[in-house]
Amino acid sequence: MRTIFHLDLDAFFVSVERIIDPTLEGKPVIVGADPKQGRGVISACSYEARRYGLHSAMPIKMAYRLCPNGIYLHGHYQEYCRYSEAVKNILCRYAPVIEQASIDEFYMDFTGCEKLYGSFFMYASFLQKTIWKELSLPSSVGIGSNKTIAKIASDCMKPKGITYVIPGMEEEFLRRMPVETIPGVGKVTLRDLNAKGFYKIGDIAKAPLQYFSSCFGQCGTDLWEKAHGRGIEFLSPGHDRKSISKEHTYGQDVIDRKIIEQTLFNLVSKVCQGLRDEGLQTSTIGIKLRYTDFITLTRAKTIRPTSDDKEVYETVLQLFRKNHTRRVAVRLIGVHLSKLEEFSEQEFIFEDEKIRRKKMFQAVDSLRAKYGYASINVGVAQPSKNA
């Protein structure tokens, strides 16, 4: 039996903003798009703001209507990364195996450590207190026999909560929870589940596997397993990031291709820098395109692993030109990199050019770290316009 911890920082972006500006304490704080512009969504909001019905991913316009007296901030994203790294460093001191799932979420495997630490509950409390003492960041911890249970548990007692699901009690723990509590059940799956009469996780667990998987296919089988309290028990510390993406919502919808391609160029520079910062390369490159009428399409292409702006931009441009077919203004554009793996110089030992470019980008990245992102722009020849 494994023992997995899931540590989730509470209202992370807001907590960091409160370290930067302590007068924000106790107030409804919203990090995200500019409400005056009226486009975009909430990235994070404080518990005080949630009392007005606000939640992350809510359109900023709606948030402003519900909570006009809230404090709206753009956010200090570099600070978030810095604090995230600091939390990881603390956890690395105590956890034998750690997997960072997102900027504010960490899985740790403490299997077999119970004797060492007295009780898991006490240990979770110790980690929480250490992060609070050293960084003033509140967090919640879930403890369970697999990743799914630990993640659901960490959300049960927020903020500053600890939930330990005793081994063997997983099914009972989940039984009365709504099906959308299971990570990965989005709007579409939820609608399908509800349409077939599945509202509580217990409803799924009661259904015969054969019936359930014939309704929902392979993801049905996974869901059914999760409803029985089973899930992934092993962490993959080397591959903490599954994807990197960046999106841009225009203040005013854009019809000019040149402007959109420039935006794509900027997005590519940023995601590729993120990639190199983590020593990763990508092989699946995707774009997201949303028109003014909200019709949205995503397209992806797989190429040889790379972390090079030029290669990524060429693919992005190809995808964009092939799929931007409607004569309708564009509202949002995004770049998505997935199939991430660690960069190994070995593979390209004979490709001097690749190594040379990688070294150049390392220099660019360190300049940017020192003088700010806008201090340097990497010149990538833009392929001719009517390609």
Window contacting Mg ion (CB under 5 A); options: 99-107, 164-172, 180-188, 261-269: 99-107
Query: Catalytic site residue 105?
Result: yes
Name the catalytic one among 105, 170, 261, 311: 105
Question: Can you tell me which of 5, 8, 337, 378 binds Mg ion, judged by CB under 5 A?
Answer: 8
Window contacting Mg ion (CB under 5 A); options: 101-109, 151-159, 283-291, 309-317: 101-109
- Asked if 106 contacts 100 with a C-beta cutoff of 8 angstroms, the reply is yes
Q: Is 308 in the site for Mg ion (CB under 5 A)?
A: no
CB of 102 to Mg ion, least distance (A): 8
Q: Is 311 in the site for Mg ion (CB under 5 A)?
A: no
Window contacting Mg ion (CB under 5 A); options: 5-13, 35-43, 48-56, 168-176: 5-13
Residue placing its CB nearer to Mg ion in the complex, 8 or 309: 8
Per-residue x/- track, 9-28, Mg ion (CB under 5 A): x--x----------------
Residue placing its CB nearer to Mg ion in the complex, 42 or 205: 42
Question: Can you tell me which of 104, 170, 240, 314 binds Mg ion, judged by CB under 5 A?
Answer: 104
Instruction: Kindly state the number of chain residues that form the binding site for Mg ion, as judged by CB under 5 A.
Output: 4
- Asked if 312 contacts 337 with a C-beta cutoff of 8 angstroms, the reply is yes
CB of 158 to Mg ion, least distance (A): 8
Residues binding Mg ion (CB under 5 A): 8-9, 12, 104
